[in-house]
Amino acid sequence: MARTPTSRGAAPKSPSATPSSTQADTYRGNAGELQQQAGGKHPVLTTQQGIPVADNQNSLRSSPRGPGLLEDFILREKITHFDHERIPERIVHARGSAAHGFFELTHSLKRYTTAKVLTEIGVQTPVFTRFSTVAGGAGSVDTPRDVRGFAVKFYTPEGNWDLVGNNIPVFFIQDAMKFPDLVHAVKMEPDRGFPQAASAHDTFWDFVSLMPETMHMVMWQMSDRTIPRSLRTMEGFGIHSFRLLNAAGESTFVKFHWRPKLGIQSTVWDEALKLQAADNDFHRRDLFESIEAGDFPEWELSVQLFTEEDAERFPFDHLDPTKLIPEELVPLQPIGRMVLNRWPDNFFAETEQVAYCPANVPPGIDFSNDPLLQGRLFSYLDTQLSRLGGPNFAQIPINAPKCPFHNMQRDGHMQMQVPKGRVNYEPSSLQSDTPRASQAQGFRHFAQADDGVKGRVRPESFADHYSQARMFFRSQSPLEQAHLASALVFELSKVTTVHVREAVVGHLQHVDADLAQRVANGLGMQALPPAPQTAEPVQDLALSPALRIIDRMKPTLQGRCIGILVADGSNGTSVANLRKALEKVGASVKIVSPKVGGALLKDGTLLPADGQLAGTPSVVFDAVASVLSPDMGAALAKEAAAVDWFRDAFGHLKAIAACKGTRAILAAGGIEPDTGVVDPADAQGFIAAAQTRQWDREPKVRTLA
């Protein structure tokens, strides 16, 4: 059901801009009333100056769907304090890896924008791209269940453009006012300092249970999207709607999407857990090694373009950052590619000191009134002032634009430039070479009419929290639905507060009744808890198969790594033939042996090893093979590391090429070979099996919700 402009953008009827009773129930009541039900008397929330706060859920806006206002001292104090909580590590996205590269435009958007980076075909614009986990500190691991940051700095001829997003197209909250609360809830609990880099604890799920707007993002978070196999196999999203402005000043909304050339790949949950033990730096090492090998990671940049009139016909509000636009509704248009081809020379100087800010956009790109985006435009700069020591952080080489830049900003902490001349103000008449503003070339904002009364309100079009969560879950394949349900059971099993578990399952009933029942069964609930009242009826939106992963995995070994286990007495010809066949189709191959020095082959030659068996578990490979003599196979069947090597590969649904000598190890691990277990002599059969996971095997190796 499309919303009319009146129902979507109408100003509140009261001069005090008080939300309607429906809005109040949705945006204050869900949190406030549930807290009252928990019992106890609560003191009035105030600012640090002791000023009572009337609404801690909504930032001040010029109208329900209008831009945020600078006079919002409550928001500014809250976010300013949050941004300065930790020095110098990033508060979120602390654990990151990055690389240099270029962006090349293949299809011009000159009809929609004046930004040269989006209009000049064939030009290679330098970029620096940083990937990160969100919740953990800089010393945490690469592979927890977590959202991944996906931030690209374009060094355009018109200044830096920072497209700062995630590998998920939506977010937990609708308003930047709630960002400090979200992060406080998901971070380590303050009275005990754990868990690190994990959402499976009481405070996070307590927040979720009281904020139904999180439900769509929770579906994504509990899906396989948040346990990616590699940084090279993640999608990226700009999340918010932005505007493109053409030479005539006309506006078109745009959403940005990055699609990996290698396709999307994820791990299974047990595999993600074991990767944390096998290699804390698994994603970082993979990115480094792929660039070192010349196998450069690549993504396609696509856009969704739509007008204000198009947006009015959507059955949701595109300014709500908890909503996405299904590509079946607005198709993706590929416009360019990004290639990462150079590792940073120094991790601290570049990866750690790089500073992104969504407010950095060249002329021809502008912002929407998305209230989360509006807060981010302020928050990032404020954070960088704290992290990087003052206002001159843009002079750090990794942050400096590569085009000419001129301004009147002077002095300050760590000023590295030596400005010359008498004039440091504008306008002036004392020097002929001082910079001046330019109406012709300068940045222009879209002239948008404002139709409301300012107040701490959200539009009624933001009130539907469950329809897209339902769409996402029901769009998944049955196996992905089972993974998602199992993830919810795992996370909520770590929550010790019973009423929090019950409240979350209550919300799940609005997403999908079967999902709620599966999770309740997994938690041992005797009956389903009551579902909360909804502010808006839940819609059955058209399903979006594009939201799946398994169906869209590319059948390829390009960019994947295969481990071959050898030992003394192995047949060197068999190893060489298998390796040649795998490398011919783009796979990288690593040799593993019981000793790091390698193995003495049957013909007496020494085959060097890339890793020792006990320290190179199969979890770090996409598929495994072995060429062993019967004697060595029998000996290794008594070694736990060898048995686990195959048992984990089998349990993680990977293809296995096992020679006759290996069968004793498979038997010791209780492995009954299936179609995904082949003889290494059948190289083509192994290649075909290794191009995907053996999904039919999963019900045989684990119980899913």
Return the structure tokens found at 10.
Answer: 């109408």
How far is CA 485 from each of CA 149, 463, 474, 516, rounded to the nearest angstrom?
Answer: 24, 25, 12, 8
* Residue 384: CB atoms within 10 Å: 22
Amino acid at 462: F
Q: Is 620 helix (H, G, I), strand (E, B) or coil?
A: helix
Q: Which residue has the tokens 């745009």?
A: 254
Angle of helix 467-475 relative to helix 498-511, nearest 10 degrees, comes to: 80
User: Which single residue is written with the structure tokens 């009481």?
Assistant: 202
Question: What would the two tokens of residue 410 be?
Answer: 């002077």
258 with 339: CB under 8 angstroms?
no
Q: Determine phi and psi for 567, rounding to 5 degrees.
A: -155, 175
Rounded CA gap, 213 and 538, in Å?
13
Cα–Cα distances (Å) from 562 to 79, 211, 618, 627, 701, in that order, read 47, 44, 9, 13, 22
Strand-pair partners of 596: none
Identify the CA nearest to 395 among candidates 417, 380, 367.
417
Handedness of CA 517, 521, 522, 528 (dihedral sign): positive
Q: Which two tokens mark 498?
A: 């019973």
Would you state the structure tokens that stand for residue 460, as one six-digit string?
């009624």
Answer whether 354's CB lies under 8 Å from 130's CB.
yes
Q: Tokens for 427?
A: 């306008």
Cα of 461 vs its chain's centroid, Å: 26
Measured CA to CA, the distance from residue 289 to residue 263 in angstroms comes to 19
DSSP secondary-structure letter at 175? S
Of the candidates 594, 638, 598, which has an alpha carbon nearest to the alpha carbon of residue 615? 594
Full DSSP string of 521-577: HHHT-SSPPPPPPPSSPPP-PPP-GGG-SGGG-----TT-EEEEE--TT--HHHHHH
Q: How far is the C-alpha of 612 from the C-alpha of 512, rounded, in Å? A: 47
List, in order, residues 6 or more apart from 275 with CB less than 8 Å away. 142, 143, 267, 282, 619, 620
Residue-by-residue DSSP string for 481-513: HHHHHHHHHHHHHT---HHHHHHHHHHHHHH-H
CB 505 within 8 A of CB 525: yes
The one-letter code for the residue type at 601 is L
Beta strands in 571-663, from DSSP E residues, in sequence order = 588-593, 599-600, 606-607, 611-612, 623-626, 656-658
Closest CA to 353 of 96, 609, 559: 96
Token readout for 139 is 């010393």
Q: Which residues are catalytic?
A: 93, 166
Taking the alpha carbons at both ends of the chain, their separation in whole angstroms is 33
